[in-house]
C-alpha cells in the first residue's frame, strides 16, 4: 500500500481513542485558582482550561485526605470499605490496592492504552510488613495497571525522600542501603528534635524526625544519600518525566495520571517561582503547579494532540494553610482564602475538606467555557472515563463509582447522592443528596459527649453557617437512612 493510500485509509477510519491526562494536585483548594475566584494567585494555565473546557462547581474528592481519596479514584470503591486504603499511609506501608482488584488504569490498559503514573503515589508499596527500598519493590504501580511509573512513594513530608521509577529507587547505590522506620530511629542521622539548628524549614507541628535537605520529616531514614531529592527540584523532575511520557507515546492512546506534589508541605517551590504569587510560599507552590499544567498543555499543543486528549485537572482534597511547617501560612495577611467561600479545610467533612476545583477539557466533546453544577466525585472516574473514551462498550460495574459522563459532555446532573469520608475504616462520614447535606450526630459514649447532627442546605448556604437539623428533623431522618443504606451497600 502506498504511503498516500495508507494515509487516506487512516484519515477515513474510526477516530483514534482520545488520550487521557489526569492532573491531580495535592491540597489545592476551591478558592486557589483564578478561574475559581482567586484574585491573589495567578494561574493562567488553569484559567485557560476553564475557558477551553468545563469548570465544575460541585466536584468532590472522595475523601478529605490523600490516601483514601487516591484509593477511591483508582478503584471506584469508597475507601472506608477497604481498611488498608482508608487512611493516610506511612512510607513503609504495603500496597493498599489488592492486585486482583480492577482499577481505572487496568480498564484503560485492556482498551489498548499505554498507562503511566508520574508523581505522588501514597498508596503503599510492596507486600509488607514494611516496604524494602533495596532492590525491586513488588508489588507496585505495575500491578495496579500502570505500565510505567515514576513516583514519590508517600508524601513530600514523609521518608523515604527518593523517587521510585518502575519499582526501583532512582539513583540507588548498593553500597549505601536504605533503611526507613516509622517507629524507632534508624541510623545516626540528625533529626529535627535533636538538631533544630540544622533546619532551614522549621516544623510547626510534628515533622520532627530525620532531616533531609534542611527539612525535618515524618519518619526516620538512613542511607540512599545519592538518591535523595531536593524539594526545590521536585516539580521540574516529575513534570519532565510526564512530558517525556507524552512525547514517547504520542502515537498511541495513552493515559497519564500526573499527581503533582504542589501544594503539599513542605512548600519549597523552585527559586524561580519565589515571590511570584501574592501569598508567600504556599501561593508560589500553586504558581509552580500552574506552570506544570502549562508544560503538559504546551506539549499536547506541540505535537498537535490537544484536540484528541481529555484533560482533567483537580485536587485530591481541600486546601489547607498551615499544615505542619512554618512557611508563613499561619500569619498570612494576603486575605487569600484557599477554599474560597467554603467552611473548614483539608481533613474536614465540611465542604472545604472535599469540594475541589475540577476542570475538564476535550475539544469538540466538552463545551468550551461551560460551567457545570452537577454533583460529581473522583470515585466516579473508573466508571466515567472509560465510558467517555470507549463509547458503545459495555459499562463496567464499580462498587461505588457511577458513570457521570453526561455531566462532562452534556447537561447531565451527575450523582444522585454522595458519601463524604475523612480518614480510616471507621472515619467520620457525611451524606449529600440534592441541596441537602447531613453530618450525622452521635450519642454520648462513656466520657464522650453527644454530638448533634448538622444539616445544611447548600444551595442557600454554601458556607454551612446555619444548622437546620432542628428545623428539618424529617430531612435528618431521611438522610440518616440514606447514609446507612449507602454504607451498607457494597
Ligand atoms: Ca492531599
Gap from CA of 294 to ligand 1 centroid (Å): 21
Average pLDDT over residues 153-170: 98
Instruction: Give yes or no for a contact between 124 and 95, defined as CB atoms under 8 angstroms apart.
Output: yes
Gap from CA of 286 to ligand 1 centroid (Å): 14
Average pLDDT over residues 303-327: 98
pLDDT reading at 15 higher than 90: no
Gap from CA of 320 to ligand 1 centroid (Å): 9
Half-sphere exposure of 246 (CA within 13 A, CB side): 28
Q: Within a 10 A sphere around the Cβ of 436, how many other Cβ atoms?
A: 20
Confidence of residue 263 (pLDDT cuts 50, 70, 90): very high
Torsion of CA 439, 440, 445, 451, to 10 degrees: 60
In DSSP terms, 258 is beta-bridged to 23, 118
Gap from CA of 264 to ligand 1 centroid (Å): 7
Gap from CA of 393 to ligand 1 centroid (Å): 33
Tell me the C-alpha distance between 201 and 260, whole Å.
21
pLDDT reading at 200 higher than 50: yes
With a CB cutoff of 8 Å and minimum separation 6, the contacts of 378 are 59, 60, 61, 62, 69, 72, 73, 314, 316
Report pLDDT digits (tens) over 34-70.
999 999 999 999 999 999 999 999 999 999 999 999 9
Gap from CA of 17 to ligand 1 centroid (Å): 31
pLDDT score for 1: 44
**What does pLDDT average to over the chain?**
96
Question: What are the DSSP E strand ranges found in 213-263?
Answer: 215-216, 220-222, 254-259
With a CB cutoff of 8 Å and minimum separation 6, the contacts of 49 are 35, 293, 297, 311, 313, 359, 361
Cis peptide before 263 (omega within 30 of 0): yes
Confidence of residue 96 (pLDDT cuts 50, 70, 90): very high
Report pLDDT digits (tens) over 207-243.
999 999 999 999 999 999 999 999 999 999 999 999 9
Gap from CA of 56 to ligand 1 centroid (Å): 19
Gap from CA of 189 to ligand 1 centroid (Å): 28
Nearest to 377 by CA among 68, 45, 37: 68
Report pLDDT digits (tens) over 347-363.
999 999 999 999 999 99
Gap from CA of 262 to ligand 1 centroid (Å): 9
Gap from CA of 107 to ligand 1 centroid (Å): 25
pLDDT reading at 12 higher than 70: no
pLDDT score for 396: 78
pLDDT score for 490: 54
Residues lining ligand 1 (ion), CB within 5 A? 26-27, 66, 316-317
pLDDT reading at 137 higher than 80: yes
Gap from CA of 155 to ligand 1 centroid (Å): 9
Nearest to 487 by CA among 20, 37, 63, 80: 80
Report pLDDT digits (tens) over 427-485.
999 999 999 999 999 989 999 999 999 999 999 999 999 999 999 999 999 999 999 99
Half-sphere exposure of 383 (CA within 13 A, CB side): 21
Gap from CA of 6 to ligand 1 centroid (Å): 47
Q: Where in the chain is the domain with CATH 3.40.720.10?
A: 16-174+218-411
Question: If residue 298 lies in a helix (H) or strand (E), which one and from where to where?
Answer: helix 280-302
Q: Where in the chain is the domain with CATH 3.30.1120.10?
A: 428-488
Confidence of residue 14 (pLDDT cuts 50, 70, 90): low
pLDDT score for 275: 97
- The alpha carbon of residue 213 and the mean position of all alpha carbons in its chain are separated, in whole angstroms, by 25
CA angle, 58 then 400 then 118, to 5°: 75
Q: Please report where in the chains the cell 499511609 appears, as a residue.
A: 89
CATH 3.40.50.10860 fits 428-488, yes or no: no
pLDDT score for 392: 81
- Which stretches of 99-217 are DSSP H helices? 104-110, 141-144
**CATH assignment of 16-174+218-411?**
3.40.720.10
pLDDT score for 391: 81
What is the reported pTM? 0.96
Confidence of residue 9 (pLDDT cuts 50, 70, 90): very low
Gap from CA of 122 to ligand 1 centroid (Å): 10
Gap from CA of 157 to ligand 1 centroid (Å): 12
Amino acid at each position: 500500500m502506498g504511503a498516500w493510500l495508507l494515509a487516506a485509509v487512516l484519515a477515513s477510519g474510526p477516530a483514534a481513542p482520545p488520550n487521557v491526562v489526569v492532573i491531580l494536585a495535592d491540597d489545592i483548594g476551591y478558592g486557589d485558582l483564578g478561574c475559581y475566584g482567586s484574585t491573589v494567585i495567578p494561574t493562567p494555565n488553569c484559567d485557560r482550561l476553564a475557558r477551553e473546557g468545563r469548570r465544575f462547581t460541585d466536584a468532590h474528592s472522595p475523601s478529605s485526605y490523600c490516601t483514601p481519596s487516591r484509593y477511591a479514584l483508582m478503584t471506584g470503591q469508597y475507601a472506608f470499605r477497604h481498611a488498608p486504603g482508608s487512611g493516610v499511609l506511612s512510607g513503609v506501608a504495603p500496597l493498599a490496592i489488592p492486585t486482583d482488584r480492577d482499577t481505572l488504569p487496568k480498564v484503560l490498559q485492556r482498551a489498548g492504552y499505554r498507562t503511566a503514573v508520574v508523581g505522588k503515589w501514597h498508596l503503599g508499596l510492596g507486600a509488607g510488613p514494611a516496604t524494602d527500598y533495596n532492590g525491586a519493590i513488588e508489588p507496585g504501580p505495575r500491578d495496579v495497571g500502570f505500565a510505567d511509573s515514576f513516583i514519590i512513594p508517600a508524601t513530600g513530608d514523609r521518608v523515604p525522600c527518593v523517587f521510585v521509577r518502575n519499582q526501583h529507587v532512582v539513583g540507588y547505590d548498593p553500597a549505601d542501603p536504605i533503611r526507613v522506620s516509622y517507629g524507632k530511629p534508624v541510623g545516626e542521622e540528625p533529626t529535627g528534635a535533636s538538631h533544630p539548628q540544622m533546619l532551614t524549614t522549621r516544623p510547626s507541628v510534628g515533622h520532627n524526625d530525620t532531616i533531609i535537605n534542611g527539612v525535618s520529616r515524618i519518619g526516620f531514614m538512613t542511607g540512599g544519600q545519592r538518591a535523595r531529592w531536593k524539594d526545590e527540584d521536585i516539580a521540574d523532575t516529575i513534570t519532565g518525566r510526564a512530558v517525556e511520557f507524552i512525547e514517547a507515546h504520542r502515537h498511541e492512546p495513552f493515559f497519564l495520571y500526573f499527581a503533582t506534589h504542589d501544594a503539599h508541605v513542605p512548600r519549597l517551590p523552585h527559586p524561580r517561582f519565589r515571590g511570584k504569587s501574592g501569598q508567600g510560599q504556599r501561593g508560589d507552590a500553586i504558581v509552580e503547579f500552574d506552570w506544570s499544567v502549562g508544560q503538559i498543555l504546551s506539549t499536547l499543543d506541540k505535537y498537535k494532540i490537544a484536540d484528541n486528549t481529555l484533560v482533567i485537572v483537580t485536587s485530591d482534597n481541600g486546601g489547607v494553610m498551615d499544615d505542619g511547617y512554618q512557611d508563613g501560612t499561619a500569619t498570612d495577611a494576603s486575605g487569600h482564602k484557599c477554599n474560597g467561600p467554603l467552611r473548614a479545610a483539608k481533613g474536614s467533612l465540611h465542604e472545604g475538606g472535599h469540594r475541589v476545583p475540577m476542570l475538564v477539557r476535550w475539544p469538540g466533546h466538552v463545551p468550551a467555557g461551560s460551567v457545570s453544577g452537577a454533583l460529581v466525585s473522583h470515585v466516579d472516574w473508573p466508571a466515567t472515563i472509560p465510558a467517555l473514551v470507549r463509547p458503545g462498550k459495555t459499562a463496567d460495574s464499580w462498587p461505588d463509582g457511577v458513570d457521570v459522563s453526561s455531566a462532562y459532555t452534556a447537561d447531565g446532573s451527575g450523582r444522585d447522592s454522595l458519601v463524604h469520608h475523612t480518614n480510616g475504616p471507621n472515619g467520620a462520614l457525611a451524606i449529600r443528596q440534592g441541596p441537602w447535606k447531613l453530618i450525622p450526630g452521635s450519642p454520648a459514649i462513656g466520657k464522650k459527649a453527644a454530638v448533634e447532627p448538622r444539616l445544611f442546605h447548600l444551595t442557600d448556604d454554601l458556607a454551612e453557617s446555619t444548622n437546620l437539623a432542628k428545623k428539618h428533623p424529617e430531612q435528618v431522618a431521611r438522610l440518616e437512612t440514606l447514609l446507612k443504606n449507602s454504607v451498607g451497600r457494597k
